[in-house]
Amino acid sequence: MAMEASNVKPPVSAIEEAHLDLYTIPSYSSWFQWGNIHEIERISLREFFDGSSITRTPRIYKEYRDFIICKYREEPSGRLTFTELRKSLVGDVSTLHKVFTFLEKWGLINFSGTVSAEPAEVQQRHKKEVRVEEGAPYGVRVVAAPNSLKPVAPLPRPVDVGGGGGGELAENGSKFPPLASYSDIYGELLQQQQQQGEEGKELVLCGSCKQLCDSGHYEHTKDEFLLLCKKCFGNGDYGSKSAHDFKYVDDTNQVVWTEAETLLLLESVLKHGDDWELVAQNVKTKSKLDCISKLLQLPFGDLMLGSALRKTKVWDRNAGQAVPAHSVQDTVTGDDQQHEHKNQGQQNANVEDPGPPHKRLCTVPNLDASSSLMKQVGRLSSVIGPPVTACAADAAVAELCYENRCSREIFDDDNFGDELGYSARTDEEERVLPVENSEGEKGPTVSGASEHRGNGANISKECCTTNFANASCNCNFSWCCSCSCEVIGCSGRERN
């Protein structure tokens, strides 16, 4: 999305316009209106709109939102922090933070060319500076008790105590890798990386033919980013530079992995988890360090290194206990098609399983193993709006048909539309019509009516569409006046 700014003014009378301040927000947020709550807000912050708590209502959301934006605009050149803001609002801090993050993401607050650069820079700087501390952190220091004459032993090695308790789980019966700290296993690897410099493990692409340079490449002495592979160099394909300016850099210490070895590596990692000794034994041709670095290079490699790899337990709300996650994998692969996560595993001739389910575990943590597939599908599709789900389903089925002949037979072209929510769409249109007639406005009204229906509220469709048409206030909001739901922005109308 192009980040052009568009100017948004709060609605005021014409007389005051001359004194108005202009605030910039990104063009993709032009849906925002002061007097209105848009569907995007309803979907992203649905806890305010599903009646789940007296502490979260549409009115409260609007108060939070308006206050936060106004507060930011008091000082648009600075960045409004969450901590500065939360003291002024009554509410659960996690919920407030969610609203804050939402507004920030859409650029309704803290959107300014100069300001946003700074925190990013600071973050970059922090990432590069790794502070190496000698000795244990103060909080974990062993101190001599007062009045004790015994000297305290010095503590040279830094220790990460906070993460020590973090569980590394395995199913009962499988061998537990020894509990070791990061530097035990990866220490040698880190050393090696440092020796080889930053470019040591990176894949080198030729600047002219865009192919991978395997065993060595030519680097321009003055511009270190100008690289040529041996072939292009031999062809004289220097661009505007001369041959003398290139020096040869040997990459032969880069390890080459065949597809079979990569496959074997992934299987071993799946089976043995973090135990690199066993993994290296399985992949006989590669050393322990090579295995680790190869895994890191793979697209989902760093996911596998985390606890997602081992059979982590997923909190099963229904059963009230932790449940092994491998059953999640089974039910989730069905979902894979629905939700359009490309199977990157195929690029590396790998086993299909390691890729998507682990990504799923990371991206949708509230999946649990016990609910049926349809429930999960329902839950996932309630996270996004219906048109998006329909598009995703379309695309997924198209891909399925492309891959697999029998899918094509199943999703016969004639039935294509019907299968995938065109009927749902016509339903929506039907529902929409009576509303449109009365209000004559599109946008929030239309989607509001259907969204309202899907919220699980105790309101029947009949109530909403017919009574809505009869609503005595002309506010274009989707809450029905006559059935005890709240009308936002409506000035004097009381709730029943």
Give the footprint of other proteins on this chain (CB under 8 A).
Answer: 50-55, 57, 59-60, 63-64, 67, 81-84, 86-95, 97, 136-140, 142-146, 148-150, 152-157, 159, 161-162, 164-169, 179, 181, 313, 315, 320, 322, 365-366, 457-458, 484-486
- By beta-carbon proximity to other proteins, the closer residue of 57 and 466 is 57
The nearest distance, CB 335 to other proteins, in angstroms, is 21
The nearest distance, CB 84 to other proteins, in angstroms, is 7
Residue environment code for 348-369, b if the CB has 16+ CB neighbours within 10 A, otherwise e: bebeebbbbbbbbbeebeebbb
* One-letter amino acid of 428: E
Are the C-beta atoms of residues 26 and 4 closer than 8 Å to each other?
yes
DSSP state of 225: T
The nearest distance, CB 313 to other proteins, in angstroms, is 6
The closest alpha carbon to 86, from 61, 73, 67, belongs to 67
The nearest distance, CB 366 to other proteins, in angstroms, is 8
* One-letter amino acid of 435: V
The nearest distance, CB 156 to other proteins, in angstroms, is 8
- By beta-carbon proximity to other proteins, the closer residue of 78 and 299 is 78
- By beta-carbon proximity to other proteins, the closer residue of 70 and 469 is 70
Q: How far apart are CA 393 and CA 401, in angstroms?
A: 12
The nearest distance, CB 309 to other proteins, in angstroms, is 16
Greatest alpha-carbon pair distance for the chain in Å reads: 89
Q: How far apart are CA 281 and CA 264, in angstroms?
A: 11
Torsion region of 81: left, alpha or beta (phi above 0 gives left; psi -120 to 50 gives alpha): beta
The nearest distance, CB 191 to other proteins, in angstroms, is 20
Question: What are the helix (H) ranges across 342-385?
Answer: 355-363, 373-383
Report the relative pairing of strands 23-26 and 5-8 from DSSP bridges: antiparallel
- By beta-carbon proximity to other proteins, the closer residue of 148 and 252 is 148
Q: How far apart are CA 379 and CA 202, in angstroms?
A: 40
- By beta-carbon proximity to other proteins, the closer residue of 119 and 239 is 119
- By beta-carbon proximity to other proteins, the closer residue of 154 and 236 is 154
What φ, ψ does residue 405 adopt, rounded to 5°? -65, -40
Please enumerate in sequence order all residues whose Cβ is within 8 A of that of 284, keeping only pairs 6 or more positions apart, or say none: none
Where would I find the beta strands (DSSP E) of 325-413? none
Q: How far apart are CA 395 and CA 298, in angstroms?
A: 26
Please enumerate in sequence order all residues whose Cβ is within 8 A of that of 218, keeping only pairs 6 or more positions apart, or say none: 227, 228, 229, 230, 233, 246, 247, 248, 249
Are the C-beta atoms of residues 270 and 320 closer than 8 Å to each other?
no
Are the C-beta atoms of residues 486 and 58 closer than 8 Å to each other?
yes
The nearest distance, CB 193 to other proteins, in angstroms, is 23
- By beta-carbon proximity to other proteins, the closer residue of 231 and 495 is 495
- By beta-carbon proximity to other proteins, the closer residue of 50 and 403 is 50
The nearest distance, CB 72 to other proteins, in angstroms, is 14
What does the radius of gyration of the chain's CA atoms come to, in whole angstroms? 29
- By beta-carbon proximity to other proteins, the closer residue of 220 and 311 is 311
Q: Which residues are registered as beta bridge partners of 247?
A: 219
The nearest distance, CB 381 to other proteins, in angstroms, is 19
* One-letter amino acid of 128: K
- By beta-carbon proximity to other proteins, the closer residue of 144 and 469 is 144
The nearest distance, CB 480 to other proteins, in angstroms, is 11
The nearest distance, CB 124 to other proteins, in angstroms, is 14
> Taken in order 22, 25, 28, 32, is the CA torsion positive or negative?
negative
> Taken in order 340, 346, 352, 358, is the CA torsion positive or negative?
negative
Question: Token pair of 468, please?
Answer: 């809505």
* DSSP-derived 3-state class of residue 268: helix
- By beta-carbon proximity to other proteins, the closer residue of 60 and 377 is 60
- By beta-carbon proximity to other proteins, the closer residue of 155 and 424 is 155
